[in-house]
A and B are shown apart, each in its own frame.
Chain A
Amino acid sequence: MRNSFKLLTFLLIYSFGINFSFSADKIEYLQTDWSFKGLFGKFDRSALQRGYQVYTEVCSSCHSMKYLSYRNLAEKGGPEFSEAQAKAIAASFDVTDGPNSDGDMFTRPGKLSDKFVMPYANVKAAQAANGGAYPPDMSVLVKARKGGVDYIYSLLQGYEDPPIGITLDDGVYYNKFMYGNKIKMSNPLSDGIVEYVDGTNATIEQMSKDVTTFLMWAAEPHLESRHKMGFKAILYLIILTILVYFSMKKIWSRIETKV
């Protein structure tokens, strides 16, 4: 027992040490309550739908989402647009298909099975159009950044005038949450830049939260079923553990040694 305590103390000090040193140069991100955190965390359906609207109307002009398909928009655990809505969304995009029987490529309206149409033909084209900086694909963006959703949420609200003494090159902007504070993306959001279908007031804060929620779903489309299954799995394991514990006690009671 005493050794276990020693071990625990070690580990406690150790993990505190790690936390402390990580927080030493850690930026304090803006906080908000995410509905998808916690044991039973779920996405806020309307936030996802609004977030999709922000993505299509603002982000998608530069950022691709190559791992998502239009069918995902109607799937369970996502924005849950109706199938008709998702079909309409898909049909509003022009998709290059082919080659047809004549050997020519052709354009047709999008289908549910199509991947999200990319804003640029390739990375080079994207770089050329954005001053050399490649707007990263957003499919797994929240998982690809330290700080995750809090970082993205803060970054979108972190634009401000540079402090005196800092000069910025052309096409470079100041963001207090960006690593090194210099970012090549201009401030994408401004109040009312999107007119929400559901009538929600489109403040920068609201849009940041909605689009970040949408990005979280895009990166973890099965988050809801993961949480649901996790709760059941752990509950099952705990019950089984208790049953096995008493079986063990019973079996070991045949001999004098304690377990």
Chain B
Amino acid sequence: MSDHNYTPSSKFGKWFNDRLPLLSLANHLTDYPTPKNLNYWWTFGGILTFCLITQIVTGLVLAMHYIAHADMAFDSVEHIMRDVNYGWLIRYIHANGASMFFLAVYIHIFRSLFYGSYKAPREIIWIIGIIIYLLMMAAAFMGYVLPWGQMSFWGATVITNLFSAIPLVGEGIVTWLWGGYSVDNPTLTRFFTLHYLIPFLILGLVVLHIWALHVPGNNNPVGIDIQKPSKDTVPFHPYIVIKDGFALLMFMIVFAFFVFYTPNILGHADNYIEADPLVTPAHIVPEWYLLPFYAILRSVPDKLLGVVAMLSAIFILAALPWLDTSKIRSAVFRPLYRQFYWILVADVLILGYVGAMPAEGLYLLVARVATAYYFIHFLIILPVLGYKEKTLPVPLSITEPVLGGSPNLAGARIKSKKDLKI
């Protein structure tokens, strides 16, 4: 953490702080200098923290009433929905909370992609973020299995079966994961245990994520380092706290709408049918937030290569700080990258869309093209772009584009002013 000259005013405070510097930490967090030009895309970090806490708190209450047993799981969920006081509310918040969590994390990730927040000196923050994202997917997948509906059961069967693609040991690994020769009670109980554990791992990683963030400080829409802390930054409290709070409330309105008025729209109807190992659903589809990766998986004809492609699609993100060779962070000053950025956004949305469709005919063709483009973007376009692109002049400090700037940077200013107010 950055340096402090903070001394508590009270005698006890000083005594305590010398032994455990909690007050220094609190002081650091409130005074933490934050770029004053952060836009609303930067509020999703706080929103994500809220999502994590919400999931943990509602999850704890659900775990008090849920029974992790293949014969009783479905019944216990209905018990929660009907007989537990406000059980329906807790469960709908938890179920829709997962979707809201992913919505927020995708915005958070794409914000980072746009403004180059993953670049030096923030690579570690980025990599920790990717690990958190991976754990989120694992937690969400296992959580979806717990109600023991048809999609739970068959989703679990399909996804765990992917490991059988590993040569030699694949089958053994799948049996080991299942705790038997099919998805059954042992699978459910271990998924429940892991689903309970992972959020706390995420919480620990979030602390590291924020710690790593507080070393170099926030990136910002202009993507340049802080030049004059007194002019370029504001203290985290109250400026950023109130702004994050405002954005969080807007987010909560959307969240509440889903919970209270369309609580089942993001789920699949089949999951209200109790798991039946003898009846396979017509289409096995994962939750919406996993669809792009599902599309990548299915676009490769070979099972093993499909799994490799799907995992590479995630792990390639961890290498992003080194794949992107441009010295300029923010897309505001990278006219070409900006175009490719939006093509990538469209590409991922298309992947999500075809992931929900049957893997045949035109859908499969589109999935293959989109998958290929996804990798081309990261492996070819980004490295080449760093050398070829003619970037726009970057302002000398954050204060300049914000306040009007110096005359020698007119070009950059006009360009950036428009973009800064996204």
Q: Which A residues lie at the B interface, using CB under 8 A?
A: 1-4, 6-7, 10-11, 14, 17-18, 21, 39, 67, 72, 136, 139-140, 143-146, 148, 219-222, 226-227, 229-231, 233-234, 237-238, 240-241, 244-245, 247-248, 251-252, 255-259
What are 7 pairs between A and B in contact, CB < 8 Å?
A2-B422, A11-B349, A222-B88, A226-B88, A234-B256, A234-B260, A257-B37
Q: Which of the segments B56-64, B180-188, B201-209, B241-249 contacts the partner chain?
A: B241-249
Contact B234 A244 (CB under 8 A): no
* Interchain CA distance A256-B36 in the complex, whole Å: 10
For the complex, give the distance between the alpha carbons of A229 and B93 in Å. Answer: 13
**0/1 interface trace, chain B 230-268, chain A, CB 8 Å (1 if under):** 000010001100110110011011001101110110000
CB of B123 within 8 Å of the partner chain: no
> Which secondary structure dominates where chain A touches chain B?
helix
Set A1, A18, A67: member contacting B78, Cβ < 8 A = A67
For chain B, give the interface size range.
Answer: 35 or more
- Interface contact B253-A237, CB-CB below 8 Å: yes
Mark each residue of chain B from 403 to 422: 1 if its CB lies under 8 Å from any CB of chain A, else 0: 10000000000000011011
* Chain B neighbourhood of A14, CB < 8 A: 349, 353
User: In the assembled complex, which residues on chain B have CB atoms less than 8 Å from the CB atom of A256?
Assistant: 402-403
**Contact pick for A230, options B256, B269, B353, B403, CB 8 Å:** B256
Q: Which residues of A contact B88 (CB under 8 A)?
A: 220, 222, 226
How far, in whole Å, are A138 and B349 apart by their CA atoms in the complex? 37
Minimum CB–CB distance from B1 to chain A (whole Å) comes to: 25
Which single residue of chain A is at the shortest CB-CB distance from B79?
Answer: A67
State in angstroms the CA–CA spacing of A89 and B245 once bound together.
Answer: 52
Residues of A near B238 (CB, < 8 A) are 251
Query: Smallest Cβ distance from A33 to chain B, in angstroms?
Result: 17
What chain B residues lie within 8 Å of A221 (beta carbons)? 82
Given contacts A148-B269, A233-B256, A241-B246, list 15 more A-B pairs with CB under 8 A.
A4-B422, A6-B342, A10-B342, A143-B272, A144-B272, A144-B273, A221-B82, A226-B260, A226-B263, A234-B253, A237-B253, A240-B249, A247-B242, A257-B36, A258-B421
> How many whole Å from B203's CB to the nearest CB in chain A?
25
Q: Once bound together, how far apart are the Cα atoms of A19 and B78, in whole Å? A: 31
Interface residues of B in 263-321 (CB under 8 A from A): 263-264, 269-270, 272-273
* With known contacts A145-B269, A244-B246, A259-B243, A229–B78 Cβ distance under 8 A: no
A238 to chain B, nearest CB (A): 6
Q: How would residues 123 to 163 of chain B score, 1 for a CB under 8 Å from any chain A CB and 0 otherwise?
A: 00000000000000000000000000000000000000000
Near A by CB (< 8 A), chain B positions 377-404 give: 402-403
Per the bound structure, the CA–CA distance linking A226 and B40 in Å amounts to 31
Name the distance in Å between B264's Cβ and chain A's nearest Cβ.
6
Rounded to whole Å, the gap between the CB of A94 and the closest CB of chain B is 23
Specify which of A3, A17, A220, A258 is in contact with B419 (CB 8 Å cutoff).
Answer: A3
Nearest Cβ on chain A to B104's Cβ, whole angstroms: 15
Q: Which residues of B contact A219 (CB under 8 A)?
A: 272
Q: Which residues of A contact B272 (CB under 8 A)?
A: 140, 143-144, 219
> Distance in Å from the Cβ of B19 to the closest Cβ of chain A?
35
Inter-chain CA distance A257–B421, complex, in Å, is: 11
Q: In the complex where A14-B353, A21-B357, A255-B36 touch, is A248 in contact with B242 (Cβ < 8 A)?
A: yes
In the complex, chain B residues whose CB is within 8 Å of the CB of A146? 269
Q: Does B346 contact A (CB under 8 A)?
A: yes
B260 pairs with A251, CB closer than 8 A: no
Docked Cα-Cα span, A258 to B272, in Å, equals: 48
* Residues of A contacting B349 in the complex (Cβ-Cβ under 8 angstroms): 10-11, 14
B53 interfacial by beta-carbon distance below 8 Å = no
On chain A, the residues within 8 Å of B402 by CB distance are 256-257
Does B197 have its Cβ within 8 Å of any Cβ on chain A?
no
In the complex, chain B residues whose CB is within 8 Å of the CB of A67:
75, 78, 82
A146 vs B81: C-alpha distance in the bound complex, in angstroms?
20
CA distance A222 to B402 in the complex (A): 51
Quote the shortest CB–CB distance from B67 to chain A (angstroms). 15
In the complex, the answer to whether A227 meets B261 with C-beta atoms within 8 Å is yes
- Is the CB of B194 closer than 8 A to any CB of chain A? no
Please tell me if the beta carbons of A18 and B419 are within 8 angstroms of each other in the complex. no
Residue on A nearest B150 in the bound complex, by CB: A144
Complex-state Cα separation, A258 to B401, whole angstroms: 12
Query: Is the pair A139, B78 in contact by a Cβ cutoff of 8 Å?
Result: yes
Q: CA separation between A238 and B256, bound complex, in Å? A: 11
Residues in B neighbouring A258, C-beta threshold 8 A = 421
- Which of the listed residues B82, B242, B252, B346 has the most CB atoms from chain A within 10 Å of its own CB? B82
**B321-347 with Cβ < 8 A to chain A:** 342, 345-346
Contact between B269 and A3, CB atoms less than 8 A apart: no
What is the chain A residue whose CB lies nearest that of B271?
A144
**What is the bound-complex CA distance between A11 and B342, given in angstroms?**
12
